Structures are given as structure tokens and as C-alpha cells.
């Protein structure tokens, strides 16, 4: 398929400096800031699908987006009417219609979710069809629109509330060590939840996770809740013993948890567990139902994550019927997408894999377990399957085929013919209608803050719903450039973003800050609004800094070889690429090579501390947030995928640990962490502090008591003030 150039592509890839009057405040630019949504968030419309009708949700009314009268019942879909029905049935009223949803395409029903109170309303006939009131300790709610059954967890146990109002207790022995119906394997392998309804909603597959054998990490007692304030009514009261329970956290090379898959039948109140055998050191992922609900499919992955199999189980007996096929990779194999049956042909399904080096779609025959054909191919990544157009028999998906920095919507037919849909530039997010004949296309580009279109997936006209003004149009926005440099391998192109200081003077010398992430499953530079620049980058440019960012090898959407270049030595190749970026930065006549800073969070915190201690003469100042310090302290699933175990790769773990490099620290380094970080546990930061003390080096430390891996709300604004002040104090 012929490629089209990226938006105005690399005609120096520059956004021109606009003469503006206003200057930003940090609250304008950081989520959680008091003026962020007013001054940085483009206008939007709240849209959803009612079948194939696109509905615009408002405060007091809803309307079909193209103005057609698709149902006389729409006249009564008002806030006043809905609240009248709710009040008459003793339910809480709502303030607007923004959050309602239409679960059934041809019925005048809306689902109103008020957290613990959920109500299905027939607004036209003014009655409640279904309702549930849950207790405060409930979580992981999963409602099925077909059976109107609700699965949920409470105190580690799993329950099902059926449409007849009966509550079924699926488990009774749940505890902190034995969890039912929750996400497992620490949310790796695309796992986001722990319950999975059958296509007709009559059966529930669920995860059961035994963590009794997993080491417990002692989290900070909850003296404080996030964003300040005490977690206890009396701040002088000491935390109770149970408040300080440890977090089950399997670290690399240690004993991990065991996972089981059950199938619950509310009609019989019986549970059948899949006969997977001993689950020790095995991962069960990507759960999918057959269309008739008689079979359950999952991908089993070994602990080394280099061998996987697609297995089929009988949902009535739990017995394994067969292995359809296996997949191997000498480094690692990471399945993140369940199989998807073709809605017009139950004998075939879509399977996603990167076996040819890029994530692509394959058609398989379910009876034989054999590949029918590779549906997409090329040096690009299929990012996500949106769904199907059942009439046209096409698959709708997003990919970066247009350009590595873009995300666009495509369709592909069963012969493999791909068609670009919608605007061919920028970064697109899409929501498919019931039949797949249309999608809501919400996109931006470097010069477009937000456009929303209704796009047909076969033929017809695109309908523009919104062309939002740039909320920064009245502000003095710095110039943003993008381009490529060669990686440390001398071959691979890497994309960078360069932001010049506000009021830039080419005759001056400016301090520069490198913002880095660098790890898998993420990127920083793309063809969205302002080239993906974060608000803090703009803030720092306004303070007089050159801001630089580079997506090194190891980051996402560039293919398997690009990602796997870092295998068994995380940080090493990434740092080499970042140093190439620094070399480019130093070549710019307006950059002061003696005033270079670096900042990153999470994997970026690891990169920051690693760069400050591996290349101590390059950076004068660094700020590392929530850092990994030693991969031995990180979780089994993620850590062992990229590093193997400490037992099988001791050299790699030693090479990448920052602890042994603490003695090299020369510049000013601030390390920030959340007191209850469950991802990069505080052991990382505190171990580094101890190593620096022992090595007689002097980093600075800042903590957010009660916060987790990320600071949210007003804490996030405070955080970015702390980061900014550190650079202002030590880099300028």
C-alpha cells in the first residue's frame, strides 16, 4: 500500500513561533491544576453509540448527531424525565446526561451508573428495568447487558447478582492471600480485569489468584491519604496492626503466585475449574469465549516467556480439549490480545502476533488450528483491533502504517486489502458503532487541537462534529521541532522532539533538559497535538530551557527487533541512544553544553539515575521519579521478560543495577517517590540512598506520603513545582 507523507512531514517538522500575549501558569499546564481544563484541554463533545446512531450527550438533553429523528422516544430523553423516574423509584438523581450509556441498540434504555447505585431505565415508558445497590466495599463490577447479571468482588470474594435480584456467592474463602475475580499477573499480558462473561451472559469465567507463597513487601502505614490529610479521624491515633499489611510482590527470580481459571454457572450455583494442571510458574492470559459459550480459549505462557500455546477447554467439564498451536521466540513472546471470532464465520478467528517482527493479524481455522492466511503485513504495527463491519466482512483496526509517529484507522477485507479511513494524518482514537458501519474519529495533529468526525467504514461522506480551537491560541507557545537522528547502532532512525525557549534568541546560550522514559510499551513523540509535548515541557521552555526528548530503541510501535535490542541488559542500549541525542543537543549553537539536565519517571526514573551515574560528566542536574534502581527488586512478569532471572542473567542484573554506580554520582540528583508506591516499591529509592551514603555521594530526596506510583490531583501540580524549582536552583 502506498504511503502518504506525515502531516507536512519534516518540511523541517517545525511549528512556527506565534506572537502571543499571554504566558502560562503551571496550573494551566498540569493535570490537577485549577485552570488546566479551561486553558489546556480542547473543547470536546460527549458522544456514544445507540446502535448505529451517534448520540450527543448533554446536560439536559441527548440528540442524534446528524439531527435525524431516529426514534420518537428521543423527545422524552431529558434530564428532567430521567430524574423523575429515578426519584419515583427511590434512586439518586443525576446532574447531567454526560455519563449515561445505551446498552441495547433498539430499545429506549439507558444505564445510569452512580458507583454503588446502578439503574437501567426505560425512559420512554418511565420505568426501571433493572437496578442494583452495592455496599461501599464492592469493586471490580462487571455488568453483562445480555443477562443483566452483575459480577463484583467484596473482601476478596466474588459474587454474582442476577437479573432476578438474587445474589450468588461464588467464593467464600477469599483473603489477602487468595483473591477472586481480580486482575492477575500484575496486569501484564494485556490483563486488565478478572471476570469474563460468556457471549450470552449465562456463564462467568474468572481468575482465582493464590498469593500465599509470595513475599510481602511492607508498605508504609496509612498515616496519610493522597493529596494531604490524615487517613484517620484522630491524627494522634497510631495505625492498627492490620493497616501495615504487606503487599504481595513477587520480585524477579522469587516465588510467584499461582493462578486458576474458574467458570461459574448462576443457574446451578456450581463452579468448574479448568484442568490446567499445576499452575506453578505458568501464566494464563488472553481469555476468550467461543461464540456458543461451550469452549474457553486462553494462552498459556511459561515463566521464561519464550513459549506459549493457545489452548481450548470444555466449559462444562473444565477439561482441556487440545492445543491449537504454539509459538516460540528465542528472547520473549508477549501475547496481549485474546483471539476474536469472525462474527460472520464462527469457524475462523483473528490472532495477533509479532512473529514476523511486527504486530499483525492472522486468520486461523478453529477446527484444524491451522493458519488460513496472514491478513496484514509490512514494516508497521497493528496497534488495536476496533471490531468488525459484519456486512462488509472487514476488520477495523488502528496502525502506524502511515508513519511511525501516526495512529490511523484502517479496514482490511478477507483478501487482505487494506483501506485507510478518515483523515490520513495525526493521531486517531476511534469508537465503532454496533454494526461497524461507522466510527467516531477523535483525533489531533501537531496543528489540530481536536477534531471529531463520524466516518463511514465502507462508503459515504465524513461528517464533522467538532473542530475545536487550540486552547493555547492566546498564549505564547514555544517553537516545537521534530526530526530524526541515528541510534547508537548507526543504522536505526530515532525520533526526537525539540522545544525552544519562549522568546528564543539564537545568539544566546540556554540550559537544556532531556525528558526521558525509554522503556517498552510507551513512547513520547507522536503526531498528536503539539507533537505530544507535555504541559511541563512547555512550562520549562517558558522558564528559558531547551527541552529535548528522544524515543530510544526499546520503546513501542517500532517492531520487535527495535524493542528487543535491550534484552537482558535494560538501560544499556537505551542510554547509548540517549547519549547520541545529547551529542545532537550539544551540536546546537544555542545549547550550553555545561548546563544539561535530565528528568524522567518510572522507567524514566531508572534512566535518569542510570544516566547520572553511568555518564556522570554529561549531566549537571537530574530529577528521577519513582525509579527502578535494581531490576532484582522489580516484579517477576515484567522484569523477567526483559531481563530473564537474576539466577540466569547475573551479569545483566549487575551491569544494569544503579547501586554499584552510586559512587559515580557527581551532579545534583533529586529522587522523588510515593510512600506507598506498589509498582516501583520504595526499596528501590531507599536502597539507592543507602548506597550513596556508603559511597559518600549526596543525592537529594523528596517523598509524597500516602501516594502511589504517580501523583494525582493537586499533588501533581506540587510535584512539578518541586521538579521545576530543583532545575531552577541548580541548572540555571
Nearest to 684 by CA among 251, 253, 255, 254: 251
The residue from 146, 156, 307, 709 that is catalytic is 709
Distance CA 347, CA 325 (A): 16
- Residue 315: closest CA among 340, 292, 338: 292
Backbone angles phi, psi at 690, to 5 degrees: -65, -40
Query: Mapping DSSP to helix (H, G, I), strand (E, B) and coil, where does residue 244 land?
Result: helix
234 is a catalytic site residue: no
Q: Is the dihedral of CA 230, 233, 239, 241 positive or negative?
A: negative
The answer to whether residues 102 and 55 touch, using CB atoms and an 8 Å cutoff, is yes
- The per-residue b/e assignment along 559-585, b for 16 or more CB within 10 angstroms, e otherwise, is bbebbbbbbbbbbbbbbbbbbbbbebb
Euclidean distance between CA atoms 491 and 495, whole angstroms: 13
Catalytic choice (555, 602, 610, 657): 602
Residue 117 CB neighbour total at 10 angstroms: 14
3-state helix, strand, coil in the chain (%, to 5): 20, 35, 50
What are the angstrom distances between the C-alpha of 249 and each of 216, 656, 727?
6, 21, 34
Nearby residues of 205 by Cβ (< 8 Å), 6 or more positions away: 195, 196, 197, 198, 261, 262, 263, 287, 289, 296, 315
Query: Looking up cell 516484579, which residue turns up?
Result: 635
- Residue 709 falls in the annotated catalytic set: yes
Question: How is the beta sheet containing 46-50 ordered, strand by strand?
Answer: 46-50, 53-57, 62-64
Residue of 677, 687, 707, 720 marked active site: 677
Sheet containing 371-374: which strands, arranged edge to edge? Answer: 340-342, 345-353, 360-365, 371-374
Question: Could you give the C-alpha distances from 60 to 49, 51, 79, 282, in angstroms and in order?
Answer: 18, 21, 5, 51
Instruction: Note whether 527 and 406 are within 8 A (CB).
Output: yes
> What is the number of H-type helices and E-type strands within the chain?
11, 42
66 is catalytic: no
The catalytic site residues sit at: 602, 677, 709
Amino acid at each position: 500500500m502506498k504511503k502518504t507523507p506525515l502531516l507536512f512531514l519534516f518540511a523541517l517538522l517545525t511549528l512556527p513561533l506565534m506572537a502571543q500575549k499571554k504566558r502560562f501558569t503551571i496550573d494551566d499546564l498540569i493535570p490537577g491544576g485549577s485552570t488546566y481544563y479551561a486553558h489546556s484541554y480542547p473543547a470536546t463533545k460527549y458522544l456514544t453509540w445507540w446502535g448505529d446512531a451517534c448520540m450527543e450527550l448533554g446536560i439536559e438533553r441527548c440528540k442524534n448527531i446528524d439531527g435525524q429523528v431516529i426514534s420518537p422516544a428521543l423527545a422524552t430523553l431529558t434530564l428532567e424525565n430521567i430524574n423523575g423516574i429515578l426519584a419515583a423509584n427511590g434512586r439518586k438523581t443525576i446532574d447531567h446526561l454526560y455519563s449515561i450509556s445505551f446498552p441495547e441498540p433498539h430499545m429506549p434504555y439507558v444505564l445510569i451508573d452512580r458507583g454503588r447505585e446502578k439503574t437501567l431505565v426505560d425512559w420512554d415508558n418511565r420505568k426501571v428495568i433493572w437496578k442494583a445497590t452495592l455496599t461501599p466495599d464492592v469493586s471490580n463490577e462487571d455488568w453483562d447487558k445480555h443477562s443483566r447479571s452483575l459480577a463484583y468482588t467484596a473482601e476478596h470474594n466474588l459474587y454474582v447478582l442476577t437479573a432476578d435480584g438474587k445474589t450468588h456467592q461464588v467464593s467464600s474463602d477469599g483473603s489477602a492471600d487468595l483473591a477472586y475475580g481480580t486482575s492477575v499477573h500484575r496486569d501484564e499480558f494485556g490483563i486488565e480485569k478478572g471476570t469474563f462473561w460468556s457471549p450470552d451472559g449465562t456463564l462467568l469465567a474468572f481468575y482465582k489468584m493464590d498469593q500465599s507463597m509470595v513475599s510481602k513487601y511492607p508498605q508504609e502505614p496509612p498515616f496519610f491519604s493522597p493529596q494531604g490529610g490524615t487517613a484517620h479521624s484522630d491524627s494522634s491515633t497510631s495505625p492498627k496492626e492490620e493497616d501495615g499489611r504487606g503487599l504481595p510482590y513477587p520480585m524477579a527470580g522469587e516465588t510467584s503466585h499461582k493462578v486458576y481459571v474458574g467458570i461459574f454457572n448462576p443457574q446451578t450455583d456450581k463452579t468448574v475449574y479448568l484442568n490446567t494442571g499445576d499452575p506453578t510458574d505458568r501464566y494464563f492470559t488472553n481469555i476468550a469465549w467461543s461464540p456458543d459459550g461451550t469452549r474457553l480459549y486462553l494462552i498459556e505462557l511459561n515463566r521464561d516467556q519464550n513459549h506459549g500455546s493457545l489452548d481450548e477447554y470444555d466449559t462444562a467439564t473444565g477439561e482441556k480439549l487440545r492445543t491449537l498451536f504454539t509459538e516460540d521466540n528465542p528472547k520473549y513472546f508477549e501475547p496481549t490480545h485474546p483471539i476474536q471470532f469472525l462474527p460472520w464465520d464462527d469457524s475462523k478467528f483473528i490472532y495477533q502476533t509479532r512473529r514476523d517482527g511486527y504486530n499483525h493479524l492472522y486468520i486461523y481455522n478453529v477446527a484444524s488450528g491451522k493458519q488460513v492466511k496472514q491478513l496484514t503485513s509490512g514494516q508497521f504495527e497493528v496497534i488495536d483491533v476496533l471490531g468488525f463491519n459484519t456486512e462488509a466482512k472487514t476488520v477495523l483496526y488502528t496502525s502506524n502504517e502511515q508513519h511511525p509517529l501516526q495512529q490511523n484507522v484502517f479496514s482490511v477485507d478477507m483478501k487482505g486489502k487494506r483501506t485507510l479511513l478518515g483523515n490520513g494524518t495525526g493521531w486517531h482514537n476511534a469508537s465503532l458503532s454496533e454494526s461497524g458501519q461507522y466510527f467516531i474519529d477523535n483525533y489531533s495533529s501537531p496543528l489540530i487541537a481536536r477534531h471529531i468526525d463520524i466516518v463511514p467504514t465502507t462508503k459515504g461522506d465524513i461528517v464533522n462534529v467538532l473542530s475545536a480551537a487550540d486552547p493555547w491560541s492566546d498564549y505564547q507557545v514555544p517553537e516545537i521541532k521534530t526530526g530524526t537522528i541515528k541510534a547508537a547502532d548507526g543504522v536505526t532512525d530515532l525520533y526526537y522532539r525539540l522545544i525552544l525557549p519562549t522568546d528564543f534568541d539564537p545568539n544566546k546560550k540556554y540550559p537544556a533538559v532531556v525528558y526521558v522514559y525509554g522503556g517498552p510499551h510507551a513512547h513520547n513523540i507522536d503526531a498528536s497535538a503539539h507533537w505530544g509535548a507535555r504541559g511541563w515541557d512547555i512550562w520549562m521552555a517558558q522558564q528559558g530551557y531547551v527541552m529535548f526528548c528522544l524515543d530510544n530503541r526499546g520503546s513501542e510501535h517500532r517492531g520487535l527487533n527495535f524493542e528487543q535490542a535491550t534484552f537482558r541488559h535494560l538501560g544499556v542500549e537505551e542510554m547509548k541512544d540517549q547519549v547520541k541525542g545529547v551529542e545532537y543537543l550539544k551540536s546546537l549553537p544555542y545549547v550550553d553544553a555545561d548546563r544539561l539536565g535530565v528528568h524522567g519517571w518510572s522507567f524514566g526514573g531508572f534512566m535518569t539515575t542510570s544516566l547520572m551515574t553511568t555518564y556522570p560528566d554529561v549531566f549537571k542536574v537530574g530529577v528521577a521519579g519513582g525509579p527502578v534502581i535494581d531490576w532484582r527488586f522489580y516484579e517477576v512478569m515484567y522484569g523477567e521478560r526483559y531481563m530473564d532471572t537474576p539466577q540466569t542473567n547475573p551479569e545483566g542484573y549487575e551491569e544494569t543495577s544503579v547501586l554499584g554506580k552510586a559512587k559515580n554520582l557527581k551532579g545534583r540528583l533529586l529522587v522523588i517517590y510515593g510512600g506507598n508506591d506498589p509498582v516501583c516499591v520504595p526499596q528501590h529509592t531507599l536502597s539507592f540512598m543507602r548506597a550513596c551514603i556508603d559511597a559518600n555521594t549526596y543525592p537529594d530526596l523528596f517523598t509524597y506520603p500516602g501516594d502511589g506510583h504517580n501523583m494525582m490531583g493537586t499533588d501533581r501540580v506540587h510535584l512539578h513545582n518541586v521538579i521545576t524549582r530543583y532545575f531552577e536552583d541548580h541548572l540555571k
